[in-house]
């Protein structure tokens, strides 16, 4: 069975409900992708560190309920998960506010069992991580992770990287640029966006941005609805179907990544996979929060 390891952080999510009410949920970019992968029939594990508190317990149980594997979830005594709040404009665009400086997830690469976890990456068909993932760790931790990914690629493991860039996680922009260059040199599949890459590498035409990535397979989401897919040197433009109702754009990119990777793992072409990604993202933005109700998953991107 195809297996995917998703690495990153899940936080407590507070989002706007009716009036001034806040709704509590859980979310994080790679966790959102892991959940949607599992819903799409992919055997997905989540790799992170959590605390020993009731909120962390709830997270693990929720992930298990979604079919996400938790074998490599480390528990750090005395620590808590991070917290973030979402404010959403009338147009559905969201702003994030974080409390995560001392979150357990930042310690993932520090405990004694880290070496075994990193070695286990070579046992997966694919490892998925994001720019947010890399912003969590120290320079030494990032290097250990990238070295482990490079080692895993010597076998049959592929690395998928989502450029998801959050400036709050990178106090020094030059550090972010170098880390992105390092991971882009390792990745087999890059899921990028103009919005992510422009702050890092300047405003350029999409072709110049794609050319920065050595991967044979690159998906660049554009400022207008749609994407450009490059695979084995050939480029294709994929238009997204119009979305009539945008409530909250949280997890649009995360769900796109899940549907894209699930389709590729199921032997779809990159163009077919990008269409699947746009379809799922188009449904997700019609709901509040990162994870939509299971019954609202679109059947055309769900497993038979």
What pLDDT is recorded for position 115?
A: 92
Q: Which residues sit opposite 190 in a β-bridge?
A: 161, 218
Q: Which residues of the chain have pLDDT under 70?
A: 1, 17-18, 92-93, 203-205, 302-304
What pLDDT is recorded for position 303?
A: 62
Cα 8 to Cα 13, 108, 271: the distances in Å are 15, 9, 27
> What would the two tokens of residue 67 be?
């079919």
Q: Are 17 and 42 in contact (CB under 8 A)?
A: no
Q: Which of 29, 45, 248, 254 is catalytic?
A: 254
What pLDDT is recorded for position 211?
A: 80
- What order of strands is seen across the sheet that includes strand 226-231? 73-75, 43-50, 3-7, 126-130, 158-162, 189-193, 217-221, 226-231, 234-239
In the CATH scheme, what is the code of domain 3-294? Answer: 3.40.1190.20
Measured between alpha carbons, how far is 62 from 241 in angstroms, rounded to an integer? 32
What pLDDT is recorded for position 288?
A: 80
> What would the two tokens of residue 29 be?
């970019």
**Residue 244 has what DSSP assignment?**
S
What pLDDT is recorded for position 224?
A: 86
What pLDDT is recorded for position 202?
A: 82
Nearest residue to 263 (alpha-carbon basis) of 88, 133, 113, 126:
126
Measured between alpha carbons, how far is 152 from 129 in angstroms, rounded to an integer? 14
Measured between alpha carbons, how far is 214 from 275 in angstroms, rounded to an integer? 23
Give buried/exposed letters for 277-292 (b at 16+ CB in 10 A, else e): bbbbbbbbbebbbbbb
> What would the two tokens of residue 155 be?
């076998």
What pLDDT is recorded for position 299?
A: 85
Measured between alpha carbons, how far is 280 from 258 in angstroms, rounded to an integer? 9
Domain range annotation of the chain? 3-294
> What would the two tokens of residue 192 be?
């990028």
What pLDDT is recorded for position 22?
A: 85
- Which contacts qualify for 76-80: CB closer than 8 Å, 24 or more apart? 76/49, 76/50, 76/51, 76/52, 76/104, 76/107, 76/111, 77/51, 77/52, 78/51, 78/52, 79/49, 79/50, 79/51, 79/52, 79/53, 79/103, 79/104, 79/107, 80/51, 80/53, 80/55, 80/56, 80/104
Query: 254 catalytic, yes or no?
Result: yes
Residue 3 buriedness (CB in 10 A; 0-12 / 13-18 / 19+): middle
What pLDDT is recorded for position 36?
A: 98
Start-to-end C-alpha separation, the chain: 16
């Amino acid at each position: 069975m195809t297996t995917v390891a998703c690495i990153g952080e899940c936080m407590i999510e507070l989002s706007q409900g009716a009036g001034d009410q806040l709704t509590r949920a859980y979310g994080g970019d790679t966790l959102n992708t892991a959940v949607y992968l599992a819903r799409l029939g992919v055997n997905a594990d989540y790799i992170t560190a959590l605390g020993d508190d009731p909120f962390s317990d709830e997270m693990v149980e929720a992930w298990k309920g979604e079919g996400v594997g938790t074998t490599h979830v480390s528990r750090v005594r005395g620590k808590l998960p991070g917290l973030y709040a979402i404010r959403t404009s009338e147009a559905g665009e969201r702003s994030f506010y974080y409390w995560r400086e001392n979150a357990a997830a930042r310690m993932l690469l520090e405990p004694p069992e880290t070496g075994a976890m990193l070695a286990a990456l070579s046992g997966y068909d694919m490892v998925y991580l994001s720019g947010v993932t890399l912003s969590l760790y120290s320079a030494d931790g990032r290097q250990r992770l990238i070295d482990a990914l490079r080692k895993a690629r010597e076998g049959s493991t592929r690395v998928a990287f989502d450029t998801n860039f959050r400036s709050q996680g990178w106090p020094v922009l030059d550090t972010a640029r170098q880390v992105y260059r390092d991971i882009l040199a390792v990745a087999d599949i890059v899921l990028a966006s103009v919005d992510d890459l422009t702050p890092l590498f300047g405003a350029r035409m999409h072709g110049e941005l794609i050319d920065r990535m050595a991967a044979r397979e690159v998906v660049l989401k554009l400022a207008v609805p749609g994407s450009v897919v490059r695979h084995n040197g050939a480029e294709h433009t994929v238009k997204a179907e119009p979305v009539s109702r945008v409530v909250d754009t949280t997890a649009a990119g995360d769900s796109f990544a899940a549907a894209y990777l699930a389709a590729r793992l199921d032997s779809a072409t990159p163009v077919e996979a990008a269409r699947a990604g746009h379809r799922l993202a188009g449904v997700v933005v019609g709901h509040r929060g990162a994870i939509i109700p299971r019954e609202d998953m679109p059947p055309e991107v769900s497993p038979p």
